[in-house]
Structure 1
């Protein structure tokens, strides 16, 4: 038996370990995740619904290849913008990746901010066929096109306030799906989610990063300014040149939808940037709301200095994963990084 086969055999009969780091956009997940991954012999699985798409790099704050510092990253650049990708797709592919990483004696480490994707993976949500109605879906798409995403979102909020709170108006695809669930089953999407068994198939550790709201908003605005300097407008222009339909996921993505309006002449550059900053602040608020509804999250103040955050995470992990993995050393962990 090879060493790889032996490690896989050891996993049989017990839950594989899974570390998850969540938090709102711009809170500092990426830099922290690299230090944690190097210290705990981990491989990172992206938990971001937009980073799966090739060519969507700047607007999704996708980590560059030369910034990964030797840490393997998974579920990034696995779809073309024309292709669909769902929470069920993510759950299936991430679960397979987790078993592969754990089977090689490493720690699977999910990092991201897409609440539904991460929660469905952590607790093995069952994505049974809830029924579909193509005519209803087309009707809702036409309604959104004619009246705007906010009007469509208001229809969802009226029948399913919890889903309305969690889903952004610009997330037209998921808003329509939530309305379709109610239309076809008579049960709200939130009721179906709450009915899921909240029992994890993993030896799970959930860590959440939070931050003073004013500081977070300032970081969001600074990040958007940096994205624009890096060429976000040209990135959106290249996507528009692919002639994707307006309902395509990338065209509804935060950062792309707003800049696309400017490029189509629907608003000024300054108005598009202001809209993007506003929408991103709202998005961060919704992310925090989603994660605060999840149980078992160990919250860490991301405003702490880098060493303090590393020490806090080490304290959380030391008693949980020591049996699974050989921790590199306390000193190497604390020396693993110095910035956000």
Structure 2
């Protein structure tokens, strides 16, 4: 059976793996637009510390859903999916394209990021869970990770049986939902609405860099962040006095760079702590994509552009 042409490109992978560079290269080739699928890069407060695309990248191709959310907001997967759906409609509309968008590329959004939940929502849909009260969310997000699975087993045995004790992000979400809505996340998931990207028309790529190479890229990126204003950015964010439970305050580098700015730790210590946090985060991302997105094309970073272009040439764009 003939495969459907490529209607969208989805690029996932761990932090510092080269996702953004690949997205820009494909956007240039297709006349498409780069759409953010990373939970940190949505925040206006994190231009440097989230490694948002540069001004130069944004002159090559349109970029959407970057830096459009204030750090005081809790911006979850539901809001992102609603925003992404509007972007998809816009890019496939009949309005005249902008100066960097050829008309043929308006139906080729290129989603890129490291947030697996965003990609799942985009392709398989999202349970229509009501907004969880802020106090409930804060309570579970500040709970010790070692206690999460036991708490979920008491409150929601069905979800506890589905989730590993080593998966604090999903455990926390399940606890928020059962506590905040009175219904198991499993019940809400049975009412899932379909995602806006048909799997058959998506080119799905996961970058899988060599671990040693990735570690080196992480260290280099953190040094660059330090040199390009990351410390000032962290200090400004800390000065806002926002709740430490907010996602923006938990972004990698914020706490350590702010501590350095305040004289609490040395520059070397800030970099080393941020490096270790980033390595652990990259490992979790890689595990997510390997386990949850096994049917995507997993490819080494340096070969990804060639592989993607070969797939696009084979299937066509439409």
**What is the aligned length?**
291
Secondary structure, in 3 states, of the residue corresponding to 1:125?
coil
Distance 1:153 1:213, change over 3 A: same
Counterpart for residue 45 of structure 1: 35
State the distance in 1 between where 2:148 and 2:245 align.
18
1:320 counterpart = 2:302: no
State the distance in 2 between where 1:198 and 1:97 align.
17
Write the deviation string for residues 293-334 of structure 1: whole angstroms up to 9, x where unpaired: 1243111111x3xxx432211122223343x1xxxxxxxxxx
TM-score normalised per structure 2: 0.80
| Contact 1:50–1:56 (8 Å) recurs in 2 | yes
Secondary structure, in 3 states, of the residue corresponding to 2:205?
strand
Q: How far apart are 1:230 and its partner, in Å?
A: 1.3
| Contact 2:127–2:189 (8 Å) recurs in 1 | no
Q: How does 1:59-78 map to 2 (within 5 A)?
A: 59-78=49-68
TM-score normalised per structure 1: 0.75
Secondary structure, in 3 states, of the residue corresponding to 1:55?
helix
Distance 1:15 1:175, change over 3 A: farther
Write the deviation string for residues 264-286 of structure 1: whole angstroms up to 9, x where unpaired: 56544433322111110010011
State the distance in 2 between where 1:269 and 1:278 align.
14
State the distance in 1 between where 2:21 and 2:270 align.
28
Secondary structure, in 3 states, of the residue corresponding to 1:68?
helix
| Contact 2:256–2:274 (8 Å) recurs in 1 | yes
Note the residue ranges of structure 2 that are not aligned, 5 or more in a row.
95-103, 153-159
1:88 counterpart = 2:78: yes
| Contact 2:37–2:115 (8 Å) recurs in 1 | yes
State the distance in 2 between where 1:119 and 1:295 align.
12
Counterpart for residue 156 of structure 2: none
Secondary structure, in 3 states, of the residue corresponding to 2:34?
strand
Secondary structure, in 3 states, of the residue corresponding to 2:71?
coil
Counterpart for residue 117 of structure 2: 116
| Contact 1:166–1:286 (8 Å) recurs in 2 | no
1:102 counterpart = 2:99: no
State the distance in 2 between where 1:55 and 1:250 align.
8
Write the deviation string for residues 155-183 of structure 1: whole angstroms up to 9, x where unpaired: 22444484654556xxxxx7643322244
Q: How does 1:1-340 map to 2 (within 5 A)?
A: 17-104=7-94, 105-106=104-105, 107-129=108-130, 132=132, 136-137=136-137, 139-140=139-140, 144=142, 152-158=144-150, 159=152, 160=160, 162=163, 165-167=166-168, 176-183=172-179, 185=182, 187=184, 201-202=197-198, 203-263=201-261, 267-292=265-290, 293-302=292-301, 304=302, 308-322=303-317, 324=318
| RMSD, matched Cα | 3.0
